[in-house]
Every structure is written in structure tokens, then in C-alpha cells.
Structure 1
Amino acid sequence: MSAGTVLVGAAGYAFVALGGHTLPPADAAALSSFYLLVSTIGPGLFVALEQETNRATSSALALRSPPGPVLRRAATHGAVLWAVAFLVLGAMYPFLVEGSLLGHRELFWAIVLSTVTAGAVYFVRGVLGGMQRFEGYAATLAGEGLMRLVPALVIATAGLATAGLYGFVFALGSGVGAVAALGWLRRGVDAQRRAGAAASADLVTGAAPSRSEAPRVRGFAPLVSATLLAQAVANLAPVVVTARLTADPATAAAFAAGFILARVPLFVFSPLQAVVLPAVSAAVTHGETVRVYRIVRPVLLAATGVCVLGVVLLSTVGPWAVRTLLGAEAPLSGAVLGFLGAGTLLLIAAQVLQAALVALQAHLAVTVSWQLSIVTLVLLLMLPIHPVQAAVVAQLTCAAVVVIAMSATLTVRLRSAAAAPTAAAAPG
């Protein structure tokens, strides 16, 4: 999984850098908008599908239930999300093409393609994560990263660079990731089906305790809302800064480049939820709530250590990277980049906490946490100070709000779960 996440991160950096160095400014700007839109729509819609599929699959595995009902329900939810996404994209076609994509119709169709491939890869990751088939999960990351990185490098070195070609290569990456893991997916489903059949046979002979109905994919609408809000929190600031800095587009472009540089680790560490969610789901299914802290704490500490190093690098060599690697024409201070990196650290912590809360079926609480965060972000982005300063303050504060809200909810839920058996065992 580590190699796969490195490839995904490298592909993200390469996509932004190659577009900035090989395309005219207008095309590079359209490609940046494409990147932010794809990074919002795909994860925003389908991370919820992955997390709920992961939770339901891992619960079914713990109960030795057959996988078929869970997979069919999850696939139905994915199809509904596809339909909604296509309707919304169709309605927004003229605004996206003439506005954010600067007339590049081909980039719109690349967004449509990316929506299809994102739904496929997040569904596959949800099943593989729930079955704890992390080799297959890693294969989806490696396939996605390689498909985005290698062809983009070939396009750039061969002098074939166009915004549309870059866009379609990026969109196809998720599809290649889904196809790369089909072998692991098939083996995992077959193994769980055999386990379910064996458990059913044990029930007939009385050799095993009765099992409850197969876990359902539930709380889906609140979770989709939460993930869409999470992506808005992660990607909204550069859009607002650009709108407020119409008289200084060079600074706006530099901030957008630095923002993307600071945010790429957020996408790299997104697979953490695939490790946390099935482990917490299994612990909750078996009533072992004390284990949840032991699962979540080391993951948060590891992410913190890596991100602290990232903050240091952003503060020191970040300005050089934005100028030299990403082609920004205006300077961006190390302090700004360091604070953006700190905001990314908090958002990674929120990803881990969200996975634990989803496993506890606290979907509404997750949504409310992100709602509080987005309100905070929007209000602070409009502070009557320099737009870049307002964006930095807004990013740090809104990320802190969601982490505090989720941490408090997780503590309350675990205390309630731990107290429930004690109360049940008390004499009447």
C-alpha cells in the first residue's frame, strides 16, 4: 500500500507540474480547474460508497455472512450516484465549459469519464478493504498512479501536450486501478462465499450460534453529504482566492499551485481509512470497544509524524518548489505553505476519525461535523484582510473544528458503547 500511495502522490504532483510547464497559461489554468473538479467530484461522491461498502463487507465477514446481499446493495447505491452525477454534470455543462474549463469541451467529457472510473475503483476498494485484501487495494493504487504518471510523462516528452489529452489520461487512471484488482476481488468474494456456506451448514447441524441478517449498507445519504462537504473544505479556498484577486492573477495562480502542493498528501493518505474502518467494524461487531482506541491512536501518530516532516519541507523548500517545479510567477512565502501543510495534517486526522465514526454508524454526526467546518470556512474566507491570509486562517480553523467535533463524538460513542454492557449486566 505504501508503494501505491507514493505512485498516486507522484502522479498528482506530475500532473500539476507538467501542465504548468508544457501548456499555454490559459490551457494550464483550465487543466488546474479540471484537476480540482475531478478531485472534488470523484472522492466527494464515491468515498462514501467505499466507506459504507467497507463497513458492511467487514461486518459480514465478522458474522460469516454471504457477501452477495452486501455487494448488490452497494452496487445499487453506486449506480444511483452515477445517475445523480450525470444529471448534475449535464445541467452544469454550459457553466463548466465556458467558465471553469475555459471552452475546453474535451475536459468536460474527461470529467464524465472520471466519474465513471471513480465509481468503479471506489467500489472495488470498499470490497477489498472490508475483506482486508490489502494487496488488491494496493494494486488499485498502483494501477491508478502508473496510468496517470507514465502516459503523462510520455505526452510531455513527445511534445504531444494538450489539455484534453492530459485530462483523459488522468480520468482513465481510476479505471485501470479498478481492473488491476479484479483477481483479488474475485478470490476474496469466493473465500467469503465459502465461509458463509460453511457457517450456514454449521447452523443446520447446531454447531454454530445463530447469525443475524447480513449487514446492510446504511446511512448512505448523510455519508455522501459528508464526503462532498469534506471535498469542498479541501478544495474551495483557491477558488475564492482567485475570485477575490482578479487584479492580481499571478498571486492567485501561485496560491493555487502552493495549495495543490500542500494538499496532495491528503489524497496520498486517503487509504488509511481502508485500514482503520474494517478493524474498527470488527471490534464493534464483537463488542470490543476498548480496541478502537488502540486501532486509531497509532494511525494518527504515524500520520502526524509524516505530516510534520511535510510541514517542515513546505516551509523551507516549498517556495522554491512552487516557483521552479510548478511554474508559479509570483512568490509564495514559506509561512503560508507551512500553515497550509498544517491544515492538511488536520484534514488527514479527520479522515481517520471519520472512518472510525462510520464503523460506529455515526453517519449523522460525521455530516454535522463537516457542516460546522464548511460554515466556518466560508465565513473566514470573507474576512476583510488579504485573501491569501484569510484563506490560511480559514483552512486551519475549519480543519480544527471538524477534528474537535469528530474527536468529541468518538469519545462519547465509545464511552456509551462501553457502558452499555455494564448497564445490561447490572442486577435489576
Structure 2
Amino acid sequence: MPAAARPSGFLSGLAPVTAGVLAAGAFSFAFLSIAGRVLGPVDFAPVSSLWAMVFIVGPGVFLPLQQELARVLGSQRARGGGGAAVRRALVVAATLVVVLAIATLAVGPWLVSSFLDGRWSMLWCFLGAVVAYAFAFTARGVLSGAGAYTQLGQMVALESLMRLLLAGAFALAGLRSPTAFGAAIALGPALSTVLVWWGSRERVRLAPGHTVAWRELTRAFGWLVLAALLMQLLANAGPLAVQVLEPPAQDGRAGLYLGALMIARIGLYLFQAVQATLLPNLAELAATGRLDDLRWALRRIVVVSVVLVVVSFLGGLALGPLGVRLLFGGDFRIGAMTMAVLASASAVYMLAAALNGAALSVGAHRLSALAWLAGCVVLVLAFELPGDLFTRVDTAYALGACTSAGVLLLRMPAALRGYEPVLATPTSGPV
């Protein structure tokens, strides 16, 4: 492993990762803006459904693999090993791809008719994205575990940049097919992996290292995958629900809803960058036994989140509809109350995500999964509430996020009391 890839401190390397996350958010907004303007609300609807499906399944299944691989490689970093762990991670990734492909093809007709506007080509784009993400998240795990944070940040940003460049090329070429933009969604992670992994002069080279037991790589994998899938489902179910529940006379509202959701979740994109700093700090506080400091940090998170909910509601009410029209075009018209509820629900979701990080930092993987399960159950049940389509879906998202955050808030004190710190005494020095 090159010396340049070694981290110099506990939180070193967060700057390039944070920059990559912020750039990825900006490029994603630009990609969806181009797609929405080129296709219009009706043809944009299957693209919005594909986007939701990809970001439920991709990060939901493979992000835990990245996290576990990074953890194992981090423990071997000083000895320059880890090659054996990577080979086992690739076997896990390939197995997950096969399972997901079989499951997808088994329910393919339903997915195509319910979510993808009858376009089988969009289902192939989804399967392509699954394969691409399997290797992309494995590569990210290697880069993260080896301390190659600059390359990791580049990979995160390049994924969205590749989509944006492809969308721009398609728009200039006069392509007006949802499938073209679906292909761009699938190709983004594939191209970013190839460009960063094979094009970098500082490629990470790992010695075989000691043999890694399967249990060491997958000890909490089941709970992590369940929690990550449910977490992504709660965040991205809205466009899929609109696609299923919309009356035939209102075709294309899923595209409208994704446009609204993207604007409402601007704060959530920024939070992903903050989370890169937040989660390691919480994990260090827990590992070093500074549980009083951890409780104080959680209280601050709750207070800031309450303020953010109020600000998000007012901001969505005043500026949300204008933001949707500016980004996606005049055909994308959305109500002010829809934007206000969506924005405030996203702020509650951020609170739940922060509390989830605290739960994982003290090893409460089961609590994490159960909290997101409870939120998703409430989400599905709330779709049956009375009201117009967008009101029902907005309310369901808000109630689901509140449920997950509430479960985590109520159960975190018990999780903290039952936690055994990894280190006997707190470490000193800056965090």
C-alpha cells in the first residue's frame, strides 16, 4: 500500500470524502434537472421510479458490505494485509448479485407494469445498476479500509458526474427516451469504479494478510443489510408509491413527486457530508467510554433537529414550489404545503439517521433494524389515510420518519447503559 494512502490521524481524509459527497449531490441535482426538462413529467415518471429502486437496493444491500470490509481492512492496515478479506468480500458481492437478479426476474412483470411504465429496458437498467453497485461498494470498502480517502471521494463524486455527462450528451444528441437516462443511472457507478480503480497512479495494493473467517466479515451483516434496506426504503418509497397509487388520469405524477422530493431533501444531501464527521466522532466517544459526552452530543443533535424541522417547514412553504420549477421546468408544479411537509419530514429523517449512527456506534444493530422496520410499517399503513395522493404520501413519509426517530430516542438510553466500551480509558488528543 502506498505511503500516501495511509491516514495521518483518526479523522484524516474526511475532507476529500465530504467534498465528494457534496459534489455528488450537486451533480445528481443537475442530472435529474436535465432528465426532467428533456422528458417532461410523464416520461420522467419511470426514470423517477428507477432512481428510487436503484437507491433502495444499491446502498441498502451493498453499503453494509463496504462498511464491514472497511472495518476488517482497517484492523489489518498496519501490516499492509487484507487481500484475503477482499477476495471473500467479492464472493459475498457476487452471491448477492445472483440472489438479487433471480428475485428481480421473478417479480419482473410486476415491477415493469407497476413502476416502470411497461418498459422492460428499464428493468435491465436496474439489473445493470445492481451489478455495478456490487463492485463499486466493494471498491469503496477497499479504499476506505486502506485509508485511500482521496480516491474514495473521487469515486463518490465521479459516479454522479458520469451520469451528468451522459445525460448532457443524450440531450445534445436529441435522445428523448427514458431508457437512455436509465442507462446513465446504471453506468454511473460502473464508470466511476473503472476510472478511479484502474486510472489512479496510487492504486491500493494489499498483501494477502491473515485468513479472514466468514463470520469476521459478516458478523452483523444481516442486521446491517436489513436496517440499510429499510432506511433507504423509507427515504425513497415516495415516487414508487405515487406510481402505484396514482389514478390513470393523473399519469406522470411520480416524476413530479421526485422533483419535489429532491428539492425538499437538499438538507439531507448536506447532512450526508456532515455524517462523515459525525459518525466517526460518535464511534470514538463510545469506544473510549466517554458515554456522558455521547449523551450530551445526542441532546445537541435532538435540539438542532427540532429547530431544523421548523425551519424546513417554513422554507418549503415559502420557496419549495419555486425551487421545483427553477430546477425542473415550468411543467413541474407542486403545492406549497406538499413541499413544507416533505421538507420537514426530511429533517425528521435526518434526526433518525443521526440517532441510527449513535445506535451503531454502541453495537445496537438490532435496535437500528427494528427502528427502521417500525418506520416502514407505519409508512405503508399511512398510505391508506384519506386525502389526495400527494398528501397521503407526504403524511406517510413524515409519520414513518417520526416513528423511526421515536423508537431510537426511546431505546437509546437502554442501549447506552448496556454498552461495554472497547478501550479501558479514553484516548487523549484532538478528535
**Is the TM value for this pair above 0.5?**
yes
Secondary structure of 1:317 counterpart? helix
Which residue matches 1:232? 233
Matches within 5 A, 1:298-377: 313-327=315-329, 329=331, 331-377=333-379
* CA separation of 1:285 and 1:399: change in aligned 2, threshold 3 A: same
More displaced stretch, 216-225 vs 16-25: 16-25
**Structure 2 CA distance for aligned equivalents of residues 404 and 242 of structure 1:** 29
**Structure 1 CA distance for aligned equivalents of residues 92 and 361 of structure 2:** 18
Report how far residue 217 of structure 1 moved.
Answer: 3.2
Amino acid at match of 1:115: V
Identity %: 27
* CA separation of 1:283 and 1:76: change in aligned 2, threshold 3 A: farther
Is 2:383 the counterpart of 1:385?
A: no
* CA separation of 1:303 and 1:137: change in aligned 2, threshold 3 A: farther
* CA separation of 1:119 and 1:152: change in aligned 2, threshold 3 A: same
* CA separation of 1:411 and 1:305: change in aligned 2, threshold 3 A: same
Contact 2:18–2:274 (Cα < 8 Å) also in 1: no
**Structure 1 CA distance for aligned equivalents of residues 55 and 94 of structure 2:** 20
Amino acid at match of 1:404: G
* CA separation of 1:408 and 1:55: change in aligned 2, threshold 3 A: farther
More displaced stretch, 21-30 vs 362-371: 21-30
* CA separation of 1:35 and 1:214: change in aligned 2, threshold 3 A: closer
* CA separation of 1:58 and 1:344: change in aligned 2, threshold 3 A: farther
* CA separation of 1:312 and 1:120: change in aligned 2, threshold 3 A: farther
Matches within 5 A, 1:98-177: 98-177=113-192
Report how far residue 96 of structure 1 moved.
Answer: 2.9
Report how far residue 330 of structure 1 moved.
Answer: 6.8
**Structure 2 CA distance for aligned equivalents of residues 124 and 225 of structure 1:** 21
**Structure 2 CA distance for aligned equivalents of residues 420 and 11 of structure 1:** 39
Matches within 5 A, 1:266-281: 266=268, 269-270=271-272, 273-281=275-283
**Structure 1 CA distance for aligned equivalents of residues 143 and 274 of structure 2:** 13
Amino acid at match of 2:158: G
* Count, aligned residues: 403
Secondary structure of 2:117 counterpart? coil
Which residue matches 1:36? 52
* CA separation of 1:352 and 1:135: change in aligned 2, threshold 3 A: farther
* CA separation of 1:297 and 1:145: change in aligned 2, threshold 3 A: farther
* CA separation of 1:137 and 1:78: change in aligned 2, threshold 3 A: same
**Structure 2 CA distance for aligned equivalents of residues 31 and 358 of structure 1:** 33
Contact 2:355–2:409 (Cα < 8 Å) also in 1: yes
* CA separation of 1:389 and 1:96: change in aligned 2, threshold 3 A: closer
Amino acid at match of 2:395: V
**Structure 1 CA distance for aligned equivalents of residues 423 and 162 of structure 2:** 50
* CA separation of 1:118 and 1:184: change in aligned 2, threshold 3 A: farther
Secondary structure of 1:385 counterpart? coil
Which residue matches 1:82? 97
* CA separation of 1:273 and 1:323: change in aligned 2, threshold 3 A: closer
**Structure 1 CA distance for aligned equivalents of residues 300 and 150 of structure 2:** 21
**Structure 2 CA distance for aligned equivalents of residues 65 and 129 of structure 1:** 14
Amino acid at match of 1:230: M
Contact 2:317–2:336 (Cα < 8 Å) also in 1: yes
Q: Deviations over 1:389-408 (max 9, x none)?
A: 23222222211221222234
Secondary structure of 2:175 counterpart? coil
Instruction: Output the aligned Cα RMSD.
Output: 3.7
Which residue matches 2:429? none
Contact 1:237–1:381 (Cα < 8 Å) also in 2: no
TM-score, normalised to structure 2's length? Answer: 0.79
Contact 2:376–2:400 (Cα < 8 Å) also in 1: yes
Secondary structure of 2:385 counterpart? coil
Contact 2:44–2:255 (Cα < 8 Å) also in 1: no
Which residue matches 1:207? none
* CA separation of 1:177 and 1:309: change in aligned 2, threshold 3 A: farther
Which residue matches 2:428? none
* CA separation of 1:32 and 1:214: change in aligned 2, threshold 3 A: closer
Gaps of 5+ in 2: 1-16, 425-431
**Structure 2 CA distance for aligned equivalents of residues 65 and 291 of structure 1:** 34
